């Protein structure tokens, strides 16, 4: 009996060891105030005083007890241009607090970092905790370009974006299929003064959606720019996709024979005159 248990345990250990292990990326979501935006280095510093535990905002855990400061690379150039020192934000990062990468950074409406509504967000909307002004909520799915994969992720060829607005217990669903670089303005119901501008900057999709790619590894991340804007202030934008054209063969010019020219004619006349003079002698 003991031998059987040992054999089963050994088999389980072997199966676990043989199974592919996904590269889990630790994510932490915090709320606080921006203390520095470094355009040259492409980083944003946030003083965090709250942390999201998956259910509610709580105080910062002991791992940030020293200075509460998190330095991370910005999710996009748009984030560096929009965000400023003193902005109240909610943000998700990977890595350690001294050398992190911001997956998303969202500006909060008001001075409370755990405020209910957001004004703008940069990065991956799936990491956003709170909704936007007018209770806009954003979800999305990405489609992979199966010819552009690396490990567990592929470049996203498009994103299916859906926005709902919960207001007076009603939803106003709106969706759009977007390509990288495209901006779509999601309209709000009559009576609302703002609407939601969503730009799909770039994205990734799971390689598991492509039969020839591996689904093992890190999870995909996408980058969006989302802003609450006054109605009519921003228009939809679809980038023009350059279509490669076949090069037209240009025939090589054939050099033409040069005409004798005036100097040549003068030389011939001189030779003829010389021959005539010799004959007269």
d(C-alpha 108, C-alpha 32), whole Å: 10
| 269: CB partners within 8 A, 6+ apart | none
Residue pLDDT, tens place only, 24-63? 568 999 999 999 999 999 999 999 999 999 999 998 876 6
Residue 41 lies in a domain: yes
- pLDDT given for residue 191 in this prediction: 81
Residue 20 lies in a domain: no
Residue 191 lies in a domain: yes
Residue 156 lies in a domain: yes
Closest by CA position to 91, among listed 106, 81, 77: 106
| 188: CB partners within 8 A, 6+ apart | 134, 136, 165, 172, 194, 195, 196, 231
Mean pLDDT of 111-123: 95
SS3 (DSSP) at 186: strand
Domain boundary among 129, 156, 173: 129
Residues pairing with 131 in the sheet: 117
Are 45 and 104 in a shared domain? yes
Query: H/E element holding 23?
Result: none
Are 87 and 153 in a shared domain? no
Are 66 and 149 in a shared domain? no
β-strand pairing of 117-123 with 131-132 = parallel
Is the model more confident about 157 or about 272?
A: 157
Residue 197 lies in a domain: yes
CATH number for the domain spanning 48: value is 2.40.50.320
Q: Is the pLDDT of residue 264 over 80?
A: no
Q: Which of 45-59, 170-184, 185-199, 238-252 has the lowest mean pLDDT?
A: 238-252
Which pair of tokens denotes residue 154? 């592929």
Are 124 and 143 in a shared domain? no
SS3 (DSSP) at 30: strand
Query: H/E element holding 96?
Result: strand 88-96
Are 117 and 145 in a shared domain? no
Residue 19 lies in a domain: no
Are 110 and 61 in a shared domain? yes
Are 30 and 119 in a shared domain? yes
Which pair of tokens denotes residue 70? 């998190």
Are 146 and 123 in a shared domain? no
Q: Work out the pLDDT band at 274, boundaries 50, 70, 90.
A: very low
Domain count, the chain: 2
Show the domain range for 45.
Answer: 26-129
Domain boundary among 129, 160, 191: 129
Residue 60 lies in a domain: yes
Are 114 and 42 in a shared domain? yes
Are 172 and 148 in a shared domain? yes
- Using a cut of 0.85, tell me whether the model's pTM lies above it: no
Are 161 and 215 in a shared domain? yes
| Cα diameter, the chain | 139
Residue pLDDT, tens place only, 74-86? 999 999 999 999 9
Residue 56 lies in a domain: yes
Are 201 and 226 in a shared domain? yes
């Amino acid at each position: 009996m003991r031998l059987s248990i040992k054999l089963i345990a050994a088999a389980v250990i072997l199966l676990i060891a043989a199974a592919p292990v996904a590269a889990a990326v630790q994510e932490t979501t915090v709320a606080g105030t921006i203390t520095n935006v470094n355009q040259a280095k492409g980083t944003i510093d946030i003083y965090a005083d709250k942390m999201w535990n998956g259910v509610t905002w709580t105080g910062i855990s002991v791992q940030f007890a020293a200075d509460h400061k998190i330095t991370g690379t910005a999710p996009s150039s748009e984030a560096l241009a929009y965000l400023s020192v003193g902005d109240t934000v909610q943000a998700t990062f990977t890595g350690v607090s001294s050398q992190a990468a911001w997956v998303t950074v969202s500006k909060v409406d008001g001075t409370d970092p755990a405020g209910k509504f957001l004004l703008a967000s940069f990065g991956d909307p799936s990491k956003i905790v709170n909704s936007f002004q007018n209770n806009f909520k954003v979800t999305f799915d990405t489609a992979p370009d199966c010819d552009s994969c690396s490990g567990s992720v592929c470049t996203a060829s498009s994103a299916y974006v859906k926005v709902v607005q919960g207001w007076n217990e009603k939803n106003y669903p709106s969706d759009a299929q977007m390509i990288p670089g495209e901006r779509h303005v999601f309209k709000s119901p009559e009576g609302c003064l703002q609407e939601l501008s969503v730009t799909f900057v770039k994205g990734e999709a799971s390689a598991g959606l492509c039969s020839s790619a591996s689904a093992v590894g890190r999870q995909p991340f996408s980058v969006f720019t989302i802003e609450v804007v006054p109605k009519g202030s921003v228009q939809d934008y679809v980038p023009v996709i350059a279509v490669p054209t076949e090069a037209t063969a240009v025939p090589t010019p054939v050099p033409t024979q040069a005409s004798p020219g005036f100097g040549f004619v003068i030389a011939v006349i001189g030779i003829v005159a010389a021959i005539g003079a010799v004959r007269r002698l």
